[in-house]
């Protein structure tokens, strides 16, 4: 993650504060542009998606995620 907030970080902050109904209606949808600084989450144990853009996708790999319970 960068030290400077970019345009996609603003959208992420907005999504955190909006009711889910508004997010699901597309008020703060992910843009198709590549954010250039992906932060990944496990979508479905097959694909990882970027929190900030729709362009960011990669195959799921459990090694990409750190489990704090196992150290």
Q: What is the pLDDT of residues 3-56, one digit of tens each?
A: 445 566 777 778 788 888 887 787 777 778 888 888 888 888 899 988 888 888
* Predicted pLDDT of residue 27: 77
pLDDT score of 69: 63
DSSP 1-70: --SS--HHHHHHHHHHHS-HHHHHTTTTPPPSS--SS--EEESSSSEEEESS-SS-EEE--GGGS--TTT
For residues 71 and 50, give the distance between their C-alpha atoms in angstroms, rounded to a whole number.
24
The pLDDT-based confidence of 1 (bands split at 50, 70, 90) is very low
Distance between CA atoms of residues 17 and 60, nearest Å: 28
State residue 23's pLDDT score. 76
Q: Give the per-residue pLDDT at 8.
A: 64
């Amino acid at each position: 993650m960068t030290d400077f907030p970019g345009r996609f970080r603003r959208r992420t902050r907005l999504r955190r504060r909006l009711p889910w109904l508004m997010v699901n209606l597309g008020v703060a949808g992910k843009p198709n542009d590549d954010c250039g600084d992906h932060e990944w989450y496990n979508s479905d144990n097959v694909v990882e998606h970027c929190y900030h853009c729709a362009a960011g996708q990669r195959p799921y790999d459990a090694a990409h995620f750190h489990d704090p319970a196992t150290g």
